Chain A
């Protein structure tokens, strides 16, 4: 296992570059059409359907397709599978594959091809075992050309949700040569120049609606300000994504300059986890007081330019099982002060920080030092909570150190966004059971933690929809009442476009951009 990927990849890349350059001629011979110019901070990578970094998920989603597709409403839509059935015991999923689908190299997409892909995942399950379905999947059967059967070791309700994810359970042509990205998707990559661009051409054999654009040219632009300038100068037609493609301030500036802009529905939650196992945040009253003490709407308006909806709960109501009507923690500093007083956190005459016995009400807030946004938010929290007599000790750390602190529970409060669709809520809730996750570490001080973990295990194995909804209600209500989190806002994707492109829509997850539905202005 050691060093294998590293030793294999150079050869794969070399081959890929050769093939990609050869394909340039093939693609130009295939079809012509208008080109949509987009940008991304890095190249798309080798586009292995089961590969992680440096494979970029937006590009994998362009080339490879799932059996079922996750929609913005959280529902699932037939895709490469036209229908499916789940056995009564919840352990067998039988899919009827869509007939007439071909990979972009002409190979038919059938049960044998699908099985070969899933078997490849199982053969390398160590690498993919972060995904619960991979460890739950016992084996795959292909009883006939268009029937695919997944047999699980035990019931696992998010099976379909995980099949919808961008990787590693999508399908590449079994005939594809190493380094050659061949999927069933609407696009195929035809050229890649390191550090400069990736070019995708329309798949002429695509089974679905034909994309209006003939090509998508994705320029490599790492700097957000340069990206905005490129759009203004006409070098780009579209900026879209949820990974900080441009800052909120730049988005507003471009909107004010007349560019067409849009915001997606909530895709994840920007939140702070509070450590129930360490320091003053062990006290429920402190956690609740912090939730009441912050005027989140004012903070969003000032720092996020009002671009993200205020979050009152851990998951946005548009996420599955999350529309529970939980009562928000209203902004009420007086109530927050009263809660702290009643809990014994009092302000001595002349003091600026509350204390209980000899313990000062001082909390370490860990944030990503390279994120201007987190830094601004953290400083505002510090200022606002100081008014209440809560001292916030700001700790700026690097990316890796932030993850390490999350894993070690080395924080009082820490930025810990949810994973977003389609991981929310099931994958995110599932991770709460494992030591090493920020959420587990944040929740470990709760008296009810063991029961919570049991309930999470039950909800994932539940085959009854009503029971599942009831279990989710219990889990999410408990976390809300225990004020383990300080939800700030719901993360959204942004989109800014020039007039030359129309019908811009958002993908249903943080990771996909549906270029295939976009149209050039003159054709719209």
Chain B
């Protein structure tokens, strides 16, 4: 297992390198010119002289491969350049905004797990009865509703109508409720539906029938024979949701004026802030790869079959 984890971590290096190369050239081969964007943001008329000056200042007047090589040499020293938009080191900015996003994403993930598991269990345990119908209705809405729309509905309800929660910004616990709900609802709904389906499938297996025939109490049948097998798809889905949660944060942080990395990235994309986009993509790639690794390790821990396969491989 340790050898497997080390191999996967080593794999990070070529993948990150490939992603950085791909992203760098894709960004620079587009039809936009960061120098023009810089001038537009600065309200400076884009004269030839002004463009030449900015290109020189930003290092855009050199060949693309030279720009990439410089970027790469700096990046291995954790210097990802200067943001065109803020004028600050990109990594400093990302690290400044990251805790707020981790706070939001972490709580959304916790919320997803804490709500989806009981809901999925309820729906499966009382299949075809009102708890099942209620859970399926809520999760159907949750899966169907775009998170930005839900965010505005939540603000309208809890801030404008009821006046219970602050509509935006970062502060106390009250500031967290709506953004966390807006981000988590879809993942929570997907997980609950998945767990329900998975539990129902597992409960129909022959070993469960055999367990019941052995006279085991129903609670123990569910705990040891149904749930144990139904966890696996949930673990995989949760790993996938981490990407979704970060994707959700891009929009939700903008709506709730949450000072996180998602909003920073959106602003960078809108303004073609290449150094930030490049660094953000790498950060995201690394984060998702580590999450996938954690999911795989959890999977192996929960399912001896996959562990044995991994070992034999």
Contacts and interface: CB of A to CB of B under 8 A. Distances in A.
B272 A400 contact: yes
A223 B44 contact: no
A437 interface: yes
B215 interface: no
A6 B152 contact: no
B152 A4 contact: no
Interface residues of A, number: 55
Contact of A5 (B81, B87, B256): B87
A226 B40 contact: no
Interface stretch (B16-24, B28-36, B132-140, B205-213): B28-36
Contacts of A435: 48
A233 B167 contact: yes
B85 A2 contact: no
A225 B255 contact: yes
Interface in B101-132: none
Contacts, number: 166
A127 B34 CA distance: 17
Interface in B167-203: 167-170
B53 A126 contact: yes
A193 B259 CA distance: 10
A399 interface: yes
Interface in A395-419: 397-401, 403-404, 407, 419
Interface string A285-319: 00000000000000000000000000000000000
Nearest to B88: A13
Contacts of B34: 400
Nearest to A220: B257
A221 B257 contact: yes
A375 B147 CA distance: 25
A6 B81 contact: yes
A216 B71 CA distance: 40
A431 to B, nearest CB: 6
A195 B264 contact: yes
A229 interface: yes
Given A223-B255, A226-B168, A401 B32 contact: yes
A399 B93 CA distance: 24
A404 B31 contact: yes
B255 A226 contact: yes
A9 B44 contact: no
B49 interface: yes
A427 B50 CA distance: 15
B40 A399 contact: yes
A220 B40 CA distance: 20
B310 interface: no
B271 to A, nearest CB: 8
B32 A404 contact: yes
B236 interface: no
B56 interface: yes
Interface in B225-276: 254-257, 259-260, 263-264, 266-267, 270-272
Contacts of A57: 43
Nearest to B158: A233
A48 to B, nearest CB: 9
Contacts of B166: 233, 235
A45 interface: yes
B107 to A, nearest CB: 18
A419 B43 CA distance: 9
Contacts of A436: 46-48, 51
B146 interface: no
A129 interface: yes
B interface residue count range (under 10 / 10 to 19 / 20 to 34 / 35 or more): 35 or more
Given A219-B169, A223-B255, A401-B32, A130 B45 contact: yes
Contacts of A106: none
B257 A219 contact: yes
B89 to A, nearest CB: 5
A6 B58 CA distance: 8
Contact of A235 (B46, B85, B169, B264): B169
Contacts of B254: 222-223, 226
Contacts of A4: 57
Contacts of B53: 126-127, 129
A10 interface: yes
B152 A130 contact: no
Contacts of A52: 38, 41-44
Nearest to B61: A2
A42 interface: yes
Contacts of A223: 254-255, 257
A66 interface: no
A233 B159 contact: yes
A45 B159 contact: no
Interface string A435-463: 11100000000000000000000000000
Contacts of B43: 52, 57, 511
B257 A222 contact: yes
B186 to A, nearest CB: 20
Nearest to A222: B254
Interface in A184-233: 193-196, 219-223, 225-226, 229-230, 232-233
28 contacts: A2-B57, A5-B87, A6-B58, A130-B47, A194-B96, A194-B97, A196-B170, A196-B259, A220-B259, A222-B257, A223-B255, A226-B257, A229-B156, A229-B159, A232-B160, A233-B166, A235-B166, A235-B168, A399-B36, A399-B271, A400-B31, A400-B36, A400-B40, A400-B272, A401-B31, A403-B33, A403-B37, A403-B40
A-B pairs, top 9 by smallest CB distance, nearest first, are A195-B259, A400-B32, A52-B42, A6-B82, A53-B41, A53-B42, A9-B87, A403-B36, A233-B167
Given A196-B169, A436-B48, 11 more contacts: A2-B56, A3-B59, A6-B82, A10-B82, A52-B41, A223-B257, A404-B32, A404-B33, A431-B47, A436-B47, A511-B43
